[in-house]
Amino acid sequence: MYDGTTPLSYTDEDGLGDNRINHINEDSNGWIWVGEKDGLSVFDGEAWTAFTTADGLPFGGINHVTFDSNGDKWLASSIFGVVHFDDTTFTIFNTTSGLINNNVRAIALDEADNKWVATGQGISVLDTDNMISDHHTMMLLLPPPDTLNPVVDVALDSNGNVWAGIYVDYLISVGGLAVWNGTSWTDYDYVEGAQWFGRPCGKRFGHRFSKQCMGCDKYGCY
C-alpha cells in the first residue's frame, strides 16, 4: 500500500492469509478485499481477517473479488465456480447450478446486479435471483477446431457494454477482445501495425483492433 508518502507492505506475518495475491478490490466501506492463491483476506483499515476452508471457503484460492448493490461479495474460484459471501455464509454456484464451467477467472456486475461470470469455456450470466439466465460461448470467432472461448477477464463500461478478454493459452498467441452491446457480440483481435483508437471521451482503449475503427459509441467501435 502507498498512502502518498510512505509505502507499506503486509504479509502473512501481519495477518494476511496468503502472500500469493491474485486480486485486490475495495468495498463501499473502504475495506480492502484480497483474493489469494489459498484463501481470502480483508483489511478494515486496522487489522486483517483471513478466511480459509475452515470458514467454508472452497479450496483452491480466489481469482477475483467484486461486490453487488447489497455489499455482498462475489468471488471467482478457479476450481469450484462462483462463491457468494454475505458476510456470514459462503455459497457456491457451479456446473451443478448451471454454470458453464467451474474455472472462473473474473466476475462483473451490471446495474441490475446480473453477474457476468468469465469462465474457461465462455461467460455465464446469473440474474438478480442468482439463477443462470444465459451463456455466451462464441464471442470471438476462432479458426476451427479451436472454437472454445476461454474468458480471462470481463468488465462493463459506463454505457453498459460488456467487454470480454479471451485468451486460448494452449495456442500461445490466439485470443482477442469482444464486446456485447445487449444484442450481439463484436470481436476484435490483433493485427501487426494497427494503431491505437480513441473513445469519444478522449480516453484510449489500449487495444489494437483487427478492423479499421472509425469511432465508438455506446454500442461499441466501428
Tell me phi and psi for residue 205, to 5 degrees. Answer: -70, -35
Quick: pLDDT tens for 192-208.
Answer: 444 433 333 333 333 33
- The span from the CA of 195 to the CA of 87, in Å, is 46
Quick: pLDDT tens for 134-157.
Answer: 999 988 877 777 677 999 999 999
* Residue 195 in domain: no
Tell me phi and psi for residue 148, to 5 degrees. Answer: -65, 140
What one-character DSSP code corresponds to residue 216? Answer: E
pLDDT attached to residue 142? 75
Rounded to an integer, the average pLDDT of 59-85 is 97
Instruction: Give the chain's length.
Output: 222
* Residue 107 in domain: yes
* Nearest alpha carbon to residue 77 among 131, 22, 123, 27: 22
Domain limits at 32?
A: 12-137
* Residue 190 in domain: no
* Residue 46 in domain: yes
CATH number at residue 106: 2.130.10.10
Quick: pLDDT tens for 104-117.
Answer: 999 999 999 999 99
Domain count, the chain: 1
Indicate the range of 52-56, 62-66, 114-118, 209-213 predicted with least confidence.
209-213
- The span from the CA of 168 to the CA of 147, in Å, is 10
The three cell numbers of residue 35 are: 483474493
